[in-house]
Amino acid sequence: MVSNSAHALDIARELIQLEADAVRSVSKQLDTSFLESVDLALASTGKIFTVGSGTSGMIARRLAHLLSVCGSSSVFLHPMDALHGSSGALEAGDLLIAISKGGESAEINQLLTLARSRGVKIVALTAKPESAIAALADVTVKLTTSEGADPGGVIAMGSTLVTAVWGDALAYVLMHYNGYSWNEVLEAHPAGAVGQITAEPDNVRNLV
């Protein structure tokens, strides 16, 4: 049992509030780099690959799933696996979205160097626009996280949420501009509760 339950709740609520503030800040951080990322995605004639290591890798995997859900064919590429052969999937016409808060992950930057040599366009999401990853990208998206949302500035809690909602916005906008219909969304979800839906949700019917 927690000896001081009120104290434990206060700690939890403080963190949640800090994370919520960080997420709300993303709407104000959207700028021309977001529009350039949309343009690269719309111009892509291949697949969208996402890449990240550690916690950023979990967010990259989530982004690939949601892009595909919203009609932009996407696959998560593990950076170390890619350096051991699966980079062969990359080809001209593809877009690679790389997530790295610090921008200095060697395996990601090595993969990006290889991707560039194959004519793959690159969007980098990072908190450090002066980092190595930014130098390799066609578009660099700077995403900052308010103080305290990452405990100790080390545990990537708030910063991964910041990156995730930026990616959500990208997937949602691409769905709109690609004219991906709700019938197509439902068709791609034949299993689970979504698979039981027989009519378009009223609250989103007019998205596209």
Nearest C-alpha neighbor of 77 from the set 116, 47, 101, 103: 47
CB 143 within 8 A of CB 131: no
pTM here is 0.92
Residue 205 counted as domain residue: no
The tally of domains found in the chain comes to 1
Residue 68 counted as domain residue: yes
First to last CA, the chain: 51
Q: Which CATH number covers residue 181?
A: 3.40.50.10490
pLDDT in tens, 54-72: 999 999 999 999 999 999 9
- Which one-letter amino acid corresponds to residue 74? S
- Which one-letter amino acid corresponds to residue 190? P
Residue 124: pLDDT band by 50, 70, 90 thresholds? Answer: very high
Residue 204 counted as domain residue: no
Provide the domain limits for residue 74. 5-190
Residue 39 counted as domain residue: yes
Angle in degrees, CA 37, 41, 47, rounded to 5: 135
Please list the alpha-helical segments (H only) found in the chain. 5-24, 26-29, 32-43, 54-69, 79-83, 106-117, 132-136, 158-177, 182-187
Residue 201 counted as domain residue: no
Residue 199: pLDDT band by 50, 70, 90 thresholds? Answer: confident
The side-by-side arrangement of strands in the sheet containing 139-142 is 74-76, 48-52, 95-99, 121-126, 139-142
Residue 76 counted as domain residue: yes
In this model, does residue 79 exceed pLDDT 90?
Answer: yes
Q: What is the pLDDT of residue 45?
A: 96
